[in-house]
Amino acid sequence: MSVAAALPAVRAGRTPLPLPARVAAAILAFAFASALAAAFVPASAATRIDLERRLLPPSAAPPLGTDELGRDVLARLFFGASVSLGVAGAAVAVSATVGSLLGLVAGERGGVLDAAVGRLVDLVLAFPGLLLAVALAAVLGPSARNTVLALAASGWVPYARLARAEARRVSSLDFVAAARAAGARLPRIVLRHLLPNVAGPLLVQAALHVAGAILAESALSFLGLGVPPPTPSWGVMLAGGRTHVLDAPHVVLAPALALFVVVLSTNVLGDALVQRLGPVRAGSRPAET
């Protein structure tokens, strides 16, 4: 969804995106569509335990085999998509909203508020990679909502830096001065005058962030700090299948491959968007650990 939203760039550039980027967009559309479809199927298909049918290899009946508790790997993959992509999407949405608004207001207002946001950004950046998310998830306890909060706690920073830089550039332009002279208040200036003019780079940042958020969610779930186990997320499936990697590699390979394809597609599409719209200036941190 967020990818489709970032596509005004295509209209602006007139020439279509390169083929790999279009293939990537199609794959992502399929992944998000199946995540949505999974929400309408009873969850029992992915959580029903059948110990008689443990670790069956891929075949005609369960197309991707079964896992260590006899659950259908394909069904879990689809439900995992809705959990992984849903949590990642929510984390991106919360990060983008909070970060953009903080950055825009800080850039427009300046002064003490700007300095305070700047200090907060520095503080969050002192915690590398997943560290802040791991720490927060650890104390808040594992749940989907807490995972979103933990990811957004550091996820808002690139948006805030980008929005602040863009807001400072735009807010010195005449039409913003005119709006101020006409008596427009802060919310109106930020939402009606600044936001529409800085939305492009913010959307590119969001498109790039999706891959990082999917990886981070899976990493947290893998460590047992994300979505709690009966619910299938791709990270949970990876962690569960790891002990059976010798006798039943398909249990690990299915979510691993799904994760790889979705993240690769997001990166390919993100690279194409960056090339189209120019680099994201204030820069995002790559997902590590």
Partner 1 sequence: MRGEGRETRAAGRLLRGAAARALSLAILLLSAGTAVFFLIHLVPGDPAAAMLGEGASPGDVAALKHDLGLDRPVPEQYVSWIGGLVRGSLGTSILTRKPVTGEILRAFPATLSLALAAFAAGLLVAVPAGVVAAFRSGRTVDHALRMVALAGVSTPNYVSGPLFVLLFSVTLGLLPVSGREAPLSIVLPAATLGLTVAALLTRMVRASLLEELGKPYVLAARARGESAVGAALRHAGWNAIPPVLVVAGLQFGSLLTGAVVTETIFSWPGVGRLLVQSIQRRDYPMVQGCVLFIAAVYVLVNAGVDALAAALDPRAAARRSGEGG
- 288 is an interface residue for partner 1 by CB under 8 A: yes
- 27 is an interface residue for partner 1 by CB under 8 A: no
- 259 is an interface residue for partner 1 by CB under 8 A: yes
- 126 is an interface residue for partner 1 by CB under 8 A: yes
Rounded to a whole number of angstroms, the minimum distance from the CB of residue 244 to partner 1 is 11
For partner 1, the closer CB: 78 or 222:
222
Three-state DSSP class for 57? coil
Using the rule CB under 8 A, give the single segment among 42-50, 91-99, 174-182, 214-222 that binds partner 1: 214-222
Using the rule CB under 8 A, give the single segment among 1-9, 108-116, 121-129, 182-190 that binds partner 1: 121-129
- 9 is an interface residue for partner 1 by CB under 8 A: no
* DSSP one-letter string for the chain: -HHHHTTHHHHHH-SPPPHHHHHHHHHHHHHHHHHHHHTTS-THHHH---GGGTTPPS-SSSTT-B-TTS-BHHHHHHHHHHHHHHHHHHHHHHHHHHHHHHHHHHHHH-HHHHHHHHHHHHHHHTS-TTHHHHHHHHHH-S-HHHHHHHHHHHHHHHHHHHHHHHHHHHHTSHHHHHHHHTT--HHHIIIIIIHHHHHHHHHHHHHHHHHHHHHHHHHHHHTT-SS-TTS--HHHHHHHHGGGTTT-THHHHHHHHHHHHHHHHHHHHHHHHHHHH---SS--PPP--
Rounded to a whole number of angstroms, the minimum distance from the CB of residue 34 to partner 1 is 19
Rounded to a whole number of angstroms, the minimum distance from the CB of residue 29 to partner 1 is 18
Among 141, 174, 181, 182, binds partner 1 (CB under 8 A): 141
Rounded to a whole number of angstroms, the minimum distance from the CB of residue 150 to partner 1 is 11
- 271 is an interface residue for partner 1 by CB under 8 A: yes
- 122 is an interface residue for partner 1 by CB under 8 A: yes
Using the rule CB under 8 A, give the single segment among 8-16, 38-46, 65-73, 238-246 that binds partner 1: 238-246
**Residue entry with tokens 């909502």:** 145
Among 48, 145, 192, 242, binds partner 1 (CB under 8 A): 242
Which residues are CB-neighbours of 272 under 8 A, at least 6 positions away?
17, 18, 20, 21, 24
- 30 is an interface residue for partner 1 by CB under 8 A: no
Among 218, 231, 233, 284, binds partner 1 (CB under 8 A): 218
Q: Quick one: DSSP state of residue 242?
A: G
What residues make contact with partner 1 under the rule CB under 8 A? 119, 122-123, 126-131, 134-136, 138-141, 211, 215, 218-219, 222-225, 235, 238-239, 242, 245-246, 249, 252, 256, 259-260, 263-264, 267-268, 271, 285-289
